[in-house]
Amino acid sequence: MLRSLYSAISGLQNFQERLDVIGNNIANVNTTGFKSGRVDLADSFSQTLRASSGSSGGSSGIASIQVGTGVVTTAIKNIYTQGALARTGAGTDLAIAGNGFFVVRDTVSDVEYATRAGDFRVDDTGFLITNTGQRVQGWSDATLTAYGDIQIDTAGMPATSDPAATMTSFAIDDQGRLNVNLSDGTQFVRGQILLQNFNDPQALMKEGNNLYSGLGSAGALAAPAAPGTSGLGKIYSGALELSNVDLASEFTNLITTQRAYQANARIITTSDEMLQELVNLKR
């Protein structure tokens, strides 16, 4: 009888966690590049009342008798399926179609993060940054050999260009190359945005602001690579990846979670009534 109480309590606790995850998914239905979460449940350890034994000679084997003690949460996983791409027309909005993450660097702590949210902007010094100020990483020079912060300016312009030429516009192609157009009509590749992939993306830690930490624990590639290579997806300029939350599935999970919570609460009520009957045997 008491075992049923503790089993039901574990059910309440774990279904509350599942409800928390569902609520977070629904809250982020319009968050750029958001990846929904999923709760994986498993049965808790069982109390063995009788161990099993194999058959021998003329006697048959005996089955075990065990009583479960509830449920536990084994994992809260992020679902890294592709979100839909939406056109924005802004040249600094970038979406990844396929595998991979952008790598950005916090200039204060010098820590690198991964993100799928490509809603970038250019700051007053020409660096391509996130909305919270982290700088996008890749080949930072015109020769595509130096890894660092991506900057959009005229550094590294061809020797054939007018030394007084200024930048008139820029565009980012599907391989992440930053093409700068100059006022004298010439064009050159200023740098290239690189992508990173992971052997175990479930090891990434959400840090807020669409950022993930723990790149080493997730089994990062030896070095970021160009989009469209090493199994990485391509980059689409002027588009953003939307949240991959499926509202229909989330509301279905919300209903089943609510009913499971109610059922476990009813088990507690029933167990309490049985205990009350036991106490009332002596009047």
Which residues, in sequence order, are bridge partners of residue 97?
A: 234
Token pair listed for 206 = 């959400």
Within this chain, do residues 226 and 101 fall inside the same structural domain, yes or no? yes
Residues 99 and 179 in one domain: yes
Residues 112 and 231 in one domain: yes
Same-domain check for residues 271 and 223: no
pLDDT in tens, 171-229: 999 999 999 999 999 999 999 999 999 999 999 999 999 999 999 999 988 789 999 99
Please tell me whether the overall predicted TM-score, pTM, comes out greater than 0.85 for this model.
yes
Say what the pLDDT of residue 1 is: 59
Check if the beta carbon of residue 186 is closer than 8 Å to that of residue 169: no
> What confidence tens digit (pLDDT) does each residue in 135-181 have?
999 999 999 999 999 999 999 999 999 999 999 999 999 999 999 99
Q: Where residue 56 falls among pLDDT bands split at 50, 70, 90?
A: confident
For 92, 154, 158, 161, 180, the CA distances from 185, given in Å and listed in that order, are 22, 13, 12, 9, 10
Sequence-ordered list of residues with C-beta below 8 angstroms from that of 163, at least 6 positions apart, any chain: none
Per-residue tokens: 194 = 């690189």
Give the integer Cα–Cα distance in Å for 128 and 107. Answer: 12
- 171 and 267 together in one domain: no
Residue 278, judged by CB atoms within 10 A of its CB (0-12, 13-18, 19+), counts as exposed
Tell me: do 107 and 42 sit in the same domain.
no
Per DSSP, the residues of the chain read -HHHHHHHHHHHHHHHHHHHHHHHHHHTTTSTT---EEEEEEE--EEEEE--B--BTTBPPB--EEEE--EEEEEEEE--PPPPEEE---TTBEEEESS-EEEEE-TTT--EEEES--B-EE-TTSBEE-TTSPEEEEE-STTS--EEE-B-SSTT--TTS-TT--EEEEEE-TT-EEEEEETTS-EEEEEEE-EE-BS-GGG-EEEETTEEE-TTTTTB-SS-B-TTSTT--EEEETEEEPP---HHHHHHHHHHHHHHHHHHHHHHHHHHHHHHHHHTT--
Does residue 214 share a domain with residue 157?
yes
Tell me, yes or no, whether 53 and 169 share the same domain: no
> What per-residue confidence (pLDDT) applies to 283?
67
Same domain, 126 and 92: yes
- Say whether both 162 and 93 belong to one domain: yes
**How many independent structural domains does the chain possess?**
2
List the domain range (segments joined by +) for residue 6.
2-77+245-279
Q: Name residues whose C-beta falls within 8 Å of residue 207's C-beta, 6 or more positions apart in sequence.
A: 113, 213
What pLDDT score was predicted for residue 59? 79
Q: What is the pLDDT of residues 88-137, one digit of tens each?
A: 999 999 999 999 999 999 999 999 999 999 999 999 999 999 999 999 99
Pair 203, 229 in one domain? yes
Let me know whether 149 and 63 are in one domain. no
